[in-house]
Amino acid sequence: MTHTLLHIVLLLGVPPLLPGVIGKTKAWFAGRNGPPVFQLYYDLAKLLRKGSVFSTTTTWVFRAGPVVGIATALLAGLLVPFGGQPAPISFAGDLILFAYLFGLGRFFTASAALDTGSSFEGMGAAREVTFACLAEPALFFGFLVLAKLSASLSLTTMLHVRFPSGWGVTGASLVLLAASLFIVLLVENSRIPFDDPNTHLELTMIHEVMVLDHGGPALGMILYGAALKLFVIGAVLLRVVAPVDAGNAWADAGIFVATMLALAVAIGVVESVMARFRLVFAPTFLVAACLLSAFSMILLLR
Amino acid sequence: MSVWLVILGIVCHAVSGVPGLFVKRHSAAGQNIAAGLGLVGSVAGVAGALWSVWVPTLPTPAIKIDGISVMFLLPIFVIPALGGVYGLEYWKQADHPQNGRKLCFFYGLVTAALAAITIAANAIEFLVVWEIMALGAFFLITTEDEDPAVREAGWVYVVAAHMATLGLFALFALMHSVTGTFALVALPDNIASGVAAAIFLLAVVAFGLKAGVMPFHVWLPGAHAKAPSHVSAMMSGVLIKIGIYGLVRIGSLLPHPPLWWGGVLLAAGTISGILGVVFALGQHDLKRLLAYHSIENIGIIVMGLGLALMGRSLQRADWVVLGLAGALLHVWNHSLFKSLLFLGAGAVVHATHTLEIDDLGGLAKSMPRTALCFAVGAVAICGLPPLNGFVSELLIYLGLFRSLGIGAETPWAGVAFAAPALAMIGALAVACFVKAFGTVFLGVARSHHARHAHEPPPTMTGPMFALAGCCLFIGLAPLAVAPIMEQAVAAWDPQLAAGGPGLSALAPLGWVTVCGLALAGLLALGSAALAEMVHRGGTASAGTWDCGYAAPGPRVQYTSSSFAQMLVGLFAWVLRPRVETPGELSLFPGEARFRSEVPDIVLDGAMRPGFRFGARITSSFRFLQAGSVHAYLLYIVLFLILLLLWR
């Protein structure tokens, strides 16, 4: 019971911290002070109280975008184990629900963008759904590797495998898998090198440009939903690169939050030292991610 | 009793169009009688089919209703009846005096023939009703036969249909040579492997032609696009599924399938799935786009079937249960959401008189009910929770993942590579339906047709809501339909099904309900919260901001071709898109045009040249066909004498 409550508290409370930590890291690299790490909490508190402007072009779909984005990310968050503790909801096959929930979120985010009738938002929607077509197979190859290693089909047990033979046998496979999942994490959350979350210039238009017309509470929900998504997908990656179990709900939660913040720092480092890809090269890189996880799978089958 | 109810249903459908032939051309009476008889027949048929789930019927030499038949009978009775009601307004007799009565007559006849195929217990009966179905569908496709494009689509269909029938003659002749009877009974265990393989391959080609598995899909896009929408809904929903029925049925009769059979089906399904959706992405015609999605979904069904066949070869009950149940449930799901989408497309054409996606836009405002139904269909066809498409894809995924040595070790882990392919199909489908839904229903109208759209009357929206309700029901309560699927699996392979775990033990169907309801709860909570915050903060409305662009008109919106451009580019190596660009612009550019289209490479690149070549070769034998009956009689006599000598 404790760990379920703790899971829900972490899921609801911690995500807005990640963009703050990423921002702080990037500011440190650039020699700036940067906004406080809690900036997104302040932003959310302000946005949720503001008024809204709705385009006369829009319909219910425009308002459904942010709502579906949050609801799917929350439900997906209940399927993933945080740190060493099991997830609140766990059954054989939950990994497929996990992946498809983000698909549902994508469907409505992109539709909400098209609802405005703006060419820029159409551009963002087209790119978002295009990149997902290549990220999804990479994710499923990763799931195959984890299912093979753990002989199970539920995220909780898949991500709790103790890797009996150690890194010696499965190590190479897990390194490839971690690299591939990290790329999936970056593209699913529209980070550099695929998208630049700080701008919505035409050249970088993916996620940020899809939400150009959302304002006030709707924008707040979108920002919160995006942070949730980063947090939830990050939790999957963390179990692969840092499978530490303390055996105690509180200690596990502590370790989990610490590693999650380290992941945010890592994303900040990547964003500081890399330039964004030219848009035409992004698919090539995603195909590489697919191949990495496919090789990771083949290594296990040999 | 249940058999008689099913037969009553079939008879009602078969005669539903007959009274209409004797009333006046402009009178609505015939069509009303047809829709009414169709509804009565469907109620009787559904009741009979469901009855036989709980009280199994004894097979007679002519009729056999088992679990597999029931799986197919239910959509066959449900979809055409709803389509018939929809047709009352969509294809009003008063507006279509020349062809309305013909349409009603063949619509009922094809429905009846489809139902009769699934209960036929011997090959002769099967072939007779099959041919009625195949030819009746030709007259349905060519309803508007004054249009040359419609006739063209009809001819392509009829050639494909007859190739399928030819294959079936060979198939049943081979089966007769083995069993010595025309009854559809299991083939003996000691059948030569070559003969069994020939029977299997003939079934794949003949039934694949009907179902539209790539590369046998050539007739499908044209026929679906050119037929009236409720006919497209019926064809895509149930007619192409009869090909799947044939594959499932013949698969159940063949003993000890070797592993490569399942492998062939799994590979064909994967290719159909990916290419179907990729071709759909390149289309500009809403119904053509939906037709290519039928190829994709048939691919997913065939993947499940391939997995089940491999399970039979390897004696893996879990593969059989998950693969077959997933495939059969997807047959239902596809017939529900694809008919829903075709009826939605029909409502669009009814309101705007165009199906050109790039001429539409903004219909969600003028046709909110149609837009809602189309959105439900679009989410369902992408396999997204909490709707029905997710459940059947989940079953197939679980089966594919279990090939990794979960449950029992197998040397065939390569099967699991189909899972990422299925994931890609899902993501591509999301891309395609965001494009279709977004361009047609969202944004601003791109033409005056779209600006003056209006919501269709309840006779058209009612059937759509009924189908959307079914999608939601199966998505939220899959356990309710599990017994029907379990019975179908038991009919397909009694031995494995009896020994192995049941469907509810293998698949987390209860959890699907829990998570579906949780998702619905979160969505309701989120919507309420947003509404409350928006209300408290106050709202204003303005034009779309669009980065401050001063005059955003309808023409600056992303179109269906610009939306799909990147994906079409990624798959250009198989799609071969034809693009016409304006070329170099001078200092004072005049009018410029951009055009892009994705033709069907199999039809235009392989089939048409192949048939032309065949025609050239065979035309040298034309002197044999002189048009003289006496000569033909002579040929027959000579041939019979030859046969006698040979014996």
A282 touches B at CB < 8 Å: no
Query: Domain total for chain A?
Result: 1
Task: List chain A residues with CB under 8 Å of B394.
Answer: 93, 96-97
Distance CA(B378)–CA(A64), nearest Å, equals 15
Measured in angstroms, the CA of B412 and the nearest CA of chain A are apart by: 10
Query: Domain total for chain B?
Result: 1
* Three-state secondary-structure class, residue B476: helix
State the residue range of the domain holding B318.
Answer: 259-529+557-581
Reply yes or no on whether the pLDDT at A165 is more than 60.
Answer: no
- Say if B72 falls within a structural domain: no
Q: Are A218 and A52 in contact (CB under 8 A)?
A: yes
Residue of A125, A200, A216 with shortest CB distance to B434:
A125
Name the β-bridge partners of B539.
A52
* Three-state secondary-structure class, residue B63: strand
- Whether A101 and B397 lie within 8 Å, measured CB to CB: no
- Say if B42 falls within a structural domain: no
What is the average per-residue pLDDT within B158-181? 92
Q: Provide the pLDDT confidence category of residue A297 given band limits of 50, 70 and 90.
A: confident
pLDDT, chain B, mean: 89
A238 touches B at CB < 8 Å: no
- pLDDT at residue number B215: 85
What is the average per-residue pLDDT within B263-272? 93
| Tens-place pLDDT, residues B424-449 | 999 999 999 999 999 999 988 888 88
- Whether B423 and A119 lie within 8 Å, measured CB to CB: no
| Tens-place pLDDT, residues B80-91 | 999 999 998 898
- Whether B546 and A72 lie within 8 Å, measured CB to CB: no
- Say if B542 falls within a structural domain: no
Q: Provide the pLDDT confidence category of residue B409 given band limits of 50, 70 and 90.
A: low
A73 touches B at CB < 8 Å: no
State the residue range of the domain holding A285.
Answer: 2-301
Quote the percentage of chain B above a pLDDT of 70.
98
- Whether A54 and B539 lie within 8 Å, measured CB to CB: yes
* Three-state secondary-structure class, residue B579: strand
Q: Provide the pLDDT confidence category of residue B340 given band limits of 50, 70 and 90.
A: very high
pLDDT, chain A, mean: 87
Which residue of B530, B549, B562, B570 to mutate against A (max A Cβ within 10 Å)?
B530
- Say if B438 falls within a structural domain: yes
Burial of residue B319, with CB atoms counted within 10 A of its CB: 0-12 exposed, 13-18 middle, 19 or more buried:
buried
Task: List chain B residues with CB under 8 Å of A96.
Answer: 393-394, 397-398
Distance CA(B605)–CA(B599), nearest Å, equals 9
**B65 alpha-carbon distance from chain centroid:** 23
pTM above 0.90, yes or no: yes
- Say if B249 falls within a structural domain: no
- Whether A91 and B542 lie within 8 Å, measured CB to CB: no
Measured in angstroms, the CA of A182 and the nearest CA of chain B are apart by: 18
B173 touches A at CB < 8 Å: no
- In sequence order, which residues have a C-beta less than 8 Å from that of residue A17 and are 6 or more positions away? A37, A38, A40, A41, A261, A264
Measured in angstroms, the CA of A53 and the nearest CA of chain B are apart by: 5
| Tens-place pLDDT, residues A168-218 | 667 788 888 889 999 999 888 888 888 877 766 666 677 788 888 888 899
- Whether B397 and A93 lie within 8 Å, measured CB to CB: yes
- pLDDT at residue number A166: 55
- Say if B142 falls within a structural domain: no
What is the average per-residue pLDDT within A86-98? 90
Lowest mean pLDDT among A245-249, B158-162, B230-234, B300-304: A245-249
What is the average per-residue pLDDT within B27-39? 88
Tell whether the torsion through CA atoms of B267, B268, B272 and B275 is positive or negative. Answer: positive
- pLDDT at residue number B546: 73
Neighbouring CB atoms inside 10 A of B157's CB total 25
Q: Provide the pLDDT confidence category of residue B520 given band limits of 50, 70 and 90.
A: very high
The residue among B481, B289, B297, B268 whose CA lies nearest residue B383 is: B297
